[in-house]
Structure 1
Amino acid sequence: MSIQWFPGHMAKARREVSEKLKFVDIVFELIDARLPLSSRNPMLDQIVQQKPRLILLNKADLADPNQTNLWVNYFREQGYPVLALTAKSDKSVKQIIPASKKVLAEKIARDNERGIKPRAIRAMVLGIPNVGKSTLLNHLAGKKVASTGNRPGVTKGQQWLRFGSQLELLDTPGILWPKFEDPAVGKKLALTGAIKDDLLHLDDLALYELEMFSRFYPEQLKERYKLTEDDLFKELPELLMLISEKRGFRDDYERASEMLILELRQGKLGRYTLDRFEELSE
């Protein structure tokens, strides 16, 4: 079953982004390093068109580092400049301006030849909800200039923000696409908090979480919930029941599902990547 979710403010934001593109030199496409494909808006190519772009794989500190390296190489092979970063890290954020100048090297050279005085790079930040746009902006500025929150829809409008003499950023609300044709994409986005929880059943999300961790991060699952190797071979509903019992929830599977999802988001299951590079061809 496909998931449809396209609030009116997102349709408006898409129109405004298209109108404002002419004022920027480069687009920063911010995506979640745990979901390098699922957190990319497929409408973005149509919106951005030929505007220079820098892909920022944010939340790299939460993602599986081996998978992140594979995805960075993949995007580079596709012709995209890309950085893996953590928006809260000075070292990560300081890479953005040099990387932007590299992308815009030809334009900067042309301006120099024409005698055009150098000015700040004007960039637009685009991405779906909850990929860390506001956190990135605040860290660049060294103070709170944008609202943050671990939920979708925090940024409601567009605003220009200046960072020193080298960078001006146009912040935008997160823009999702009208429908998720692949149910797995919706589950991944819901697990990481990019779409509202009430769009999917919590037990379905928890079962999907258990499926992914049983396949790719079994040791993390075993350690967190005191499971044995044999436990991981149980059917997923049985495994959810077992974890529910171990946590003292008895047959309150909804409460157990909430706990599983919350602990995933809090990082208590360790680093993970749900978009697997080895499954890219599928």
Structure 2
Amino acid sequence: MDIQWYPGHMKKTRDLISQNHKLVDLIVELLDARAPRSSLNPIFDDVLGDKKRLFLLNKSDLADPSVNNLWLDFYQKQNKDILLMNSRSGSTKVILDKIRQMNAPIHERMIQRGRKIRPMRMMILGVPNVGKSSLINRLAGRASARTGDKPGVTRGKQWVRLGKDLELFDTPGILWPKFEDNQEGIHLALIGSIRDEILDRQSLALELVRRLIKDYPGVLRQRYGCEEEGEALVIMENIALARGAILPGKQIDYERIARILIDEFRGGILGRISLERPDNGAVESTL
């Protein structure tokens, strides 16, 4: 299953980042905790160089908590600054404290050189639909950025003031021109970073069923009351029967059951599920 998506506006976003990253003191990069490797955009390494970065594993409440801990340990062993977060609820104090801590040396240099103290500036980056706008709204304490559940809602560039001492440069979500590994495309599609309209949702749902059976046995049985033995397609058809995804003539509505499965995974209804582990423990695609 080969998935590629790089619309023209993403090239403009790359140029925007390249032209403006020197204006900021810190990069805040959001990753999806369910797929940290696939949501780590390689473009940023090329464009940002050695710019100081804080990584936030967002949507950690939707990911397997034991796998979250593996990822934290993995990044910390590489001396990366990283925090777990849920952009929809919970306090932002830990995030703001970490940002101020990382920016403290710059603030101290301003004082030593007798310069006027200016707000610390940061740029927030991530793949589409990773939760940047929701985080900004909470950091700012108001609905300052447009939010939505579709990739590509945030457009253009904007500065957001966070209190007296912080300014944030927001950018639209961006992918990269070609996924070298088809697993990247599958994971990004499952977490909602690629527009559903271009996807083969039925094949994507089948891949999800295969992975759940292997990595999280019992999840489908508990949610839908269906046995998990046999081919993924048969299991998906049994789920369709259980959920009433039936067309006239008692035919399976494959598109509808595919949407149900994908949406319930994305919304955490199926439970806390991770697609990747630091040890490359993701299920190999058979598509």
Which category describes the TM-score, using the shorter chain as reference length? over 0.9
The amino acid that maps onto 1:4 is Q
- Give how far 1:280 is off: 5.5
Residues 31, 57 of structure 1: 8 Å contact kept: yes
TM alignment of 1:179-194, pairs within 5 A: 179-194=178-193
Aligned-residue sequence identity (percent) comes to: 46
Residue 257 of structure 2 is matched in structure 1 by 256
Residues 43, 177 of structure 1: 8 Å contact kept: yes
Residues 134-169 of structure 1 show CA distances to partners (whole Å, capped at 9, x for unaligned) of 000111111111110111000011000001112110
TM alignment of 1:18-57, pairs within 5 A: 18-57=18-57
The amino acid that maps onto 2:106 is K
Residues 52-97 of structure 1 show CA distances to partners (whole Å, capped at 9, x for unaligned) of 1000111111111111111011111122100111122342x21122
Residue 5 of structure 1 is matched in structure 2 by 5
Distance 1:157 1:268 in 2: 33
Would you say how many aligned residue pairs link Structure 1 and Structure 2? 278
Residues 103, 120 of structure 2: 8 Å contact kept: no
Residues 72, 83 of structure 2: 8 Å contact kept: yes
Residues 175-223 of structure 1 show CA distances to partners (whole Å, capped at 9, x for unaligned) of 1101122222212111221101133211111111111211222222211
What secondary structure sits across from 1:154 in the alignment?
A: coil
Residue 16 of structure 2 is matched in structure 1 by 16
- Give how far 1:268 is off: 1.4
Residue 203 of structure 1 is matched in structure 2 by 202
TM alignment of 1:197-276, pairs within 5 A: 197-227=196-226, 231-248=227-244, 249=246, 250-276=251-277
- Give how far 1:119 is off: 2.9
Is 1:154 aligned to residue 153 of structure 2?
yes
The runs of 4+ residues in structure 1 deviating greater than 6 Å are none
RMSD, aligned CA: 1.8
- Give how far 1:108 is off: 3.1
Q: Where does the alignment leave 5 or more consecutive residues of structure 2 unmatched? A: none
Q: Where does the alignment leave 5 or more consecutive residues of structure 1 unmatched? A: none
Residues 26, 124 of structure 1: 8 Å contact kept: yes
Residue 140 of structure 1 is matched in structure 2 by 139
TM-score (norm 2): 0.91
Distance 1:101 1:141 in 2: 15
- Give how far 1:48 is off: 1.1
